[in-house]
Amino acid sequence: MSVPERNMALELVRATESAAMAAGRWMGRGDKNGADKAAVDAMRFMLNTVEMDGVVVIGEGEKDEAPMLFNGERLGTGSEPQVDIAVDPIDGTRLCALGRPNSVSVVAVGERGAFYDPKHIFYMNKLATGPTAADVIDITIPIEENIARVAKAKNKKPRDVTVVVLDRPRHEKLIAAIRSTGALIRLIPDGDVAGALMTCKEESGIDLLAGVGGSPEAVISAAALKCVGGNLQCMLWPRNEEEAERCGQVGQDLDAVLQLEDLVKGKNVFFAATGVTDGELLKGVRYEGRKIKTTSLVMRAKSGTIRYIEAIHSAEKLREISGVNYEG
């Protein structure tokens, strides 16, 4: 079996740029599916130009009944290397639709069989942090203790630690526990891939991500954190008894902790992200007449290289090449 050795992230970023430029035209229009379809169509076109025999194993859209790059879809030119693909054409579709911060387009690629398959489980409980505290977190202990550990690792006091949490009713007890330590909380409406990555960026001021979010996003976040040296631990979170029973039938242990290596195997892992709307992680798309500006992040686990790419695109020339209309 062939393995990816070249830095594919530099090719994947063309797909996230395309998705972001297409989706950005829908910013603030209030149409999630319209934005998602634009991103999906643009990303699919570009991924099919990459020299790879790719299979989508982590897609987004099924749980939301939205347009999607579906699991099992083959992408690329069909030539080596053989890879698995995890995609989220817009992480934070609602953020884009409402014109809110931190909507990004993301793609991760690994060797065949690298990515964990959550099967029927759409949600996981997550705990993520950056490189400085990567070795001290433990999802099986109370959040109060994790905050204390992260504070010590970062030479802070617990009240200086900032935790990002999805703003959901299910997190009421978690939020109360975090507040009891005096730690700070950043509640986000959506977009926990960006939230997980912000724990690795000092300028963001985020130290931890905690709480229940999507399973596809967990695997994509794990790929990104593996590239940058952070850590992510997860536990399956079935929504009801039927999902819990199904876990037993397919051999999934609800008490097991999924470590970073369980979620994403090996070092041949590549990650690319492009900002759709402005945020702490990346700037959003800028439309300036015939030119479009994008800001992207590309990473490779094997080398540990992290690149920020600012690009200027000609909407007219891209439309001639791809048939995708980025001019709105």
Is 116 annotated as belonging to a binding site?
no
28 marked as part of a ligand binding site: no
Task: Flag whether 327 is marked binding.
Answer: no
138 among annotated binding-site residues: no
Q: Is 159 annotated as a binding residue?
A: no
Strands, DSSP E only, in the chain? 53-58, 74-75, 82-91, 104-111, 123-129, 162-166, 184-188, 208-214, 231-236, 269-275, 286-288, 291-300, 306-314
Provide block-wise average pLDDT over 10 residues at a time, the chain (328 residues): 68 95 95 92 93 89 59 91 94 94 96 91 95 97 98 97 97 98 96 92 93 94 95 96 89 93 94 96 93 96 92 87 75
Q: Tell me if 251 is assigned to a ligand binding site.
A: no
**Is residue 36 part of an annotated ligand binding site?**
yes
Q: Does 262 carry a binding-site annotation?
A: no
Question: Does 169 belong to an annotated binding site?
Answer: yes
For residue range 198-215, what is the model confidence (pLDDT) as tens digits? 999 888 999 999 999 999
Rounded CA gap, 182 and 122, in Å? 32
* pTM for the full predicted model: 0.91
In angstroms, rounded to a whole number, what is the distance separating the alpha carbons of residues 116 and 55?
Answer: 14
